[in-house]
Chain A
Amino acid sequence: MPWGEFKDTAGERRVFQRRTLAVVVILLLLMGVLVARMYQLQIVQHETFSTMSDKNRVQVQSVAPTRGLVYDRNGVLLAENRPVFSVTVVPERVGNLDETLTELQRFLSISEEDLERFHRRLKERRRPFQEIPLRYDLNEQEIASMAVHRHELPGVEVNAELVRYYPHAEMTAHALGYVGRINRDELQRIDPVDYAGTNYIGKSGIERFYEDLLHGTVGYQHVETNARGRTLRVLEQESSVPGSDISLHLDMRLQERAFSLLEGRRGAVVAIEPETGGVLALASVPGFDANLFVTGIGVEAYRELNESHDKPLFNRALRGQYPPGSTIKPMLGIAGLDTDTVTRELTIWDPGFYQIKGRRFRDWKRSGHGWVDLTDAIAESCDIYFYDMAVKMGVDHMHDYLTRFGFGEQTALDISGALPGLVPSREWKRAFRNEPWYPGDSVNMGIGQGFNLATPLQLATATAVTANQGRWAQPRLLRQVIGDTPATEALPEQKRDDIVLRNPDDWDFIIDSMKEVMHGAKGTAREAAKDASYLMAGKTGTAQVFSLAEDEEYDEEEVRERLRDHALFIGFAPIDNPKIAVAVIVENGGSGSGTAAPLARAMFDAWLLEFNAGEAGLVVGAAGGNSP
């Protein structure tokens, strides 16, 4: 400081005091700001933050209901729920992620696909401490390894969930359908509240049709969680309602028998109980392992199934639309009698061919059957008789009566995915072929060729109606809902009218003709019915295979095989008080009598003699002989 000047101590002091005053004012102001802010948060916005605080700590967790089980008529389990273990990782709790993953590979097999999926999920936005799945469906060894080593691996969790399992895999896939993980489209359809916590939904078949019944109702838990999502305690709880267990008309023993009878071949068997309409067997061979589809089938496995020439994914019983061939002759016979086109006694001369408008149609028997009446025509499957009757009856009547038997429509109550087949008519031909109906079309229609298409289910249905003499019991799979709901509530309403004939005795007549097929001296299926201890009625058929698919290439043997006719057969037994009606198709089986009929006979034997032997009402009589 320069000599001679004094510090103005008092002055400096005054300045300081003024500054301090200013500072205190600013101080109080800023404190005021803080207090005001706190007031705003704690008092003014208290409700909002209180709610947020609760939202943080209280989580509503849904408790997924257990899916209802599916049984066959005898209590054999067809679909159950098994615990499946999966491994998840919480990255925030893991020390070194790469090390942990390497360590895990000592106990689990982790594929490249799994790792890729895991790392992808890792990069996505997620809540802190949310777990990321690494592997699903651990096998027993892996579960055990994880149990032993889990404490060495912080951040790694093992979760269990119940997953649908089909013990009979291939044999029930087409009949039951299967469940799979819910996809985006389905998410739009379902009630998100009810399906919170559920990962699976029925995709096809019974699993899909009775989804509501089998799913049950979701339950809730109000839990207090910490920021890691760990549940600390349950505050409130509402139990889930498990899905109803159901039992079906299916008999697994019969189903197994059908599969073994068709082993090595392609085809379908549908068996219906005429009295109730219950489907006893629904076999489409080859089948596939539905369990593969539940957790999500791998790309390779799916490609294999999809590209197989035997088409295991194709449900032949419900969706195979074949020309019914001669199997519809009994039904057309009913039509002919009821419309007075023919009489029981009318005979015609069958030289082996039929001529109409310059075109010749042949009988399968080159030499013809000679003089035939309706019974003979059915028993020996005479085509000429039916050509003649068809032309005389006309397409309109034929269409009318065939639809009364359920052809051309989907008549099953709870079988989803069934196709309606086709019964042609003038209108149909106009609309789809832009052509008028020609007499030649009627000729073909008369023997079940031409435009006619029917599924094995429809054939079995029509057979059951015939067995019932016109009384309709629409086919259904559901037999019983175990619990409070009666099956009638779960099933849709029956809507079909019984077939009422002017002369109800016509039924007996036609059934008799069908008995001739099996037991008569000239019946086309008499070989199959040999030495039977009961009387059966049936009709053979053969459907022509028209063309190969363009993209298929075969070797010569295969080509020959796949060009052969399909073998068909319908029938029921016993004649009095029928217990089972069956439709069989063996693709490329050649002849109906040779290939399909024996199969049906085996099914009858199984049902009547093996599985239900000793039951009241079974008529066990001598084979052969004509009915009065």
Chain B
Amino acid sequence: MASRDFLQKLPSQQLTQSRGFWSMVHLDPILLVLLIGLVGFGLVILYSGGDGRIELVKGQGIRIALAFLVMVVFAQLDPAVYRRWAPWLYLVGMAGLVAVLLIGVGAKGAQRWLALPGLPRFQPSELMKLVVPMMAAWYLSRHFLPPRLSRVTVALLLVFIPMGLIVKQPDLGTSLLVVASGVFVVFFAGISWRVLAAFGGLVAVAVPLMWVFVMREYQKQRVLTLLDPESDPLGAGWNIIQSKTAIGSGGWSGKGWMQGTQSHLEFLPESHTDFIVAVLAEEFGFVGVLSLMGLYLLIILRCLYIAVNAQDSFSRLLAGALSMTFFIYVFVNVGMVSGLLPVVGVPLPLISYGGTSIVTLMAAFGILMSIHTHRRMITS
């Protein structure tokens, strides 16, 4: 405590040498380049996945530009700001989640949005994707690490209560991402492997209970379809079968840009949103898929590098959790599209068409860059 106060009182600039351009603007050039590369690649695929409709690409481009702006803004704020505001943001987020269940609006039978007078429509659950790890990181970093079991329990409660609220919307996909981000914080905080195993055991028990009591019919159907898509090839299994066909028919190097028959002949649904990886796989083949995976891997590794080099517990935990959440996006989407996981409606990060998740992700990257560029101590 004392050391922290002492350090906080020193003006940062006195301790640091002259910083480069990037430090001044609080951006990480490597991550920036990787992100630009990724979204560029994404726009190219989107053009094909959207069947050559340039308006789609233009819309997405604008959205991406705005998201980059958000990233820059978030990068300017000192991580200490995030740490201080974490509990308040958490309360606001929780209020938002409760409000959504009571007065929320939405489409397709799901209430996910809040339309308050004077404010633009927003999804509280999206907010929670950032706020929950922040809260968990704040709570755990206040005390010794690794945390005691009691603290772990509290942290987990902080994570699972919002998850429960989100599940009720219903929005299984987002709830899983929120849980993942929170659990990663706990993991990085250093809970013992034994506790982790016990926790894993709990989950294993909970899953069948969830199947019977919590999961809705369509969610159960999705799992069944995953295991045997051929049982309903014209109905529920259609997406998976078409997706696998698209991917498999790509071969080593794909059919060529804009030449994908599965997507362009309308066999593959959601070809510009959730299933866009299949378009990539069909048109650019195994080589294309490897390239994409490689790009994502580099981004995640860079983020983990930032996390390791962060200068306080809060920043480390938060950075680690955000990096791994990003990975979860990739793993779940690609796993779903290739038939390894049931369909849960998780978009391919920064590539799938659609605005909300891009903004949230870029905000997260902004936080990461903030953590990386607001340094109090020079590492010698």
Contacts and interface: CB of A to CB of B under 8 A. Distances in A.
Contact of B266 (A33, A41, A228): A228
Contacts of A52: 241, 245, 248-249
Contact of A46 (B187, B249, B335): B249
Given A24-B301, A42-B250, A125 B234 contact: yes
A276 interface: no
A524 to B, nearest CB: 75
B334 A34 contact: yes
A42 B339 CA distance: 13
A438 interface: no
Contacts of B300: 27
B249 A12 contact: no
Interface string B236-254: 0010011011111111100
Interface in A49-82: 49-50, 52-53, 56-57
A38 B338 contact: yes
B347 to A, nearest CB: 16
B261 A34 contact: no
Interface residues of A, number: 48
B293 interface: yes
B328 to A, nearest CB: 9
B338 A41 contact: yes
B290 A35 contact: yes
A45 B248 contact: yes
A7 B250 contact: no
B57 interface: no
Contacts of B266: 226-228
B265 interface: yes
Interface stretch (A14-22, A251-259, A301-309): A14-22
Interface string A210-236: 000000000000001111100010000
A38 B289 contact: yes
Contact of B143 (A1, A34, A128): A1
A9 B252 CA distance: 49
Nearest to A24: B304
B285 interface: yes
Given A20-B320, A37-B338, A56-B267, A1 B1 contact: yes
Given A42-B252, A53-B246, A16 B320 contact: yes
A1 B144 CA distance: 8
Given A20-B308, A34-B338, A50-B249, A43 B265 contact: no
B248 A20 contact: no
A46 B247 CA distance: 9
A48 B320 CA distance: 41
A262 B82 CA distance: 105
Given A24-B304, A228-B266, A57 B261 contact: yes
B249 A49 contact: yes
B104 interface: no
Size class of the contact patch on chain B: 35 or more
A189 interface: no
B331 interface: yes
Contact of B304 (A23, A35, A41): A23
Contacts of B267: 56-57, 226-227
A50 B251 contact: yes
Nearest to B277: A38
Given A41-B244, A50-B249, A56 B262 contact: yes
A49 B300 CA distance: 32
Given A16-B307, A53-B249, 18 more contacts: A1-B1, A9-B313, A11-B145, A12-B313, A16-B313, A19-B190, A20-B188, A23-B324, A34-B338, A37-B338, A42-B281, A42-B289, A49-B245, A50-B251, A56-B265, A57-B262, A126-B234, A224-B265
Nearest 5 interchain pairs by C-beta: A49-B248, A53-B249, A227-B266, A226-B265, A15-B190
Interface of B: 1, 3-4, 142-146, 187-188, 190, 234, 238, 241-242, 244-252, 261-262, 264-267, 281-282, 285-286, 289-290, 293, 297, 300-301, 304, 307-308, 312-313, 316-317, 320, 324, 327, 331, 334-335, 338-340
Interface of A: 1, 3, 5-9, 11-13, 15-17, 19-20, 23-24, 27, 30-31, 33-35, 37-39, 41-43, 45-46, 48-50, 52-53, 56-57, 125-128, 224-228, 232
30 contacts: A1-B142, A5-B144, A6-B3, A7-B313, A15-B145, A16-B188, A16-B190, A16-B317, A19-B190, A33-B340, A34-B331, A37-B335, A38-B281, A41-B247, A42-B248, A43-B251, A43-B252, A46-B249, A48-B248, A49-B247, A50-B249, A50-B251, A52-B241, A52-B248, A52-B249, A53-B282, A56-B267, A57-B262, A57-B265, A126-B234
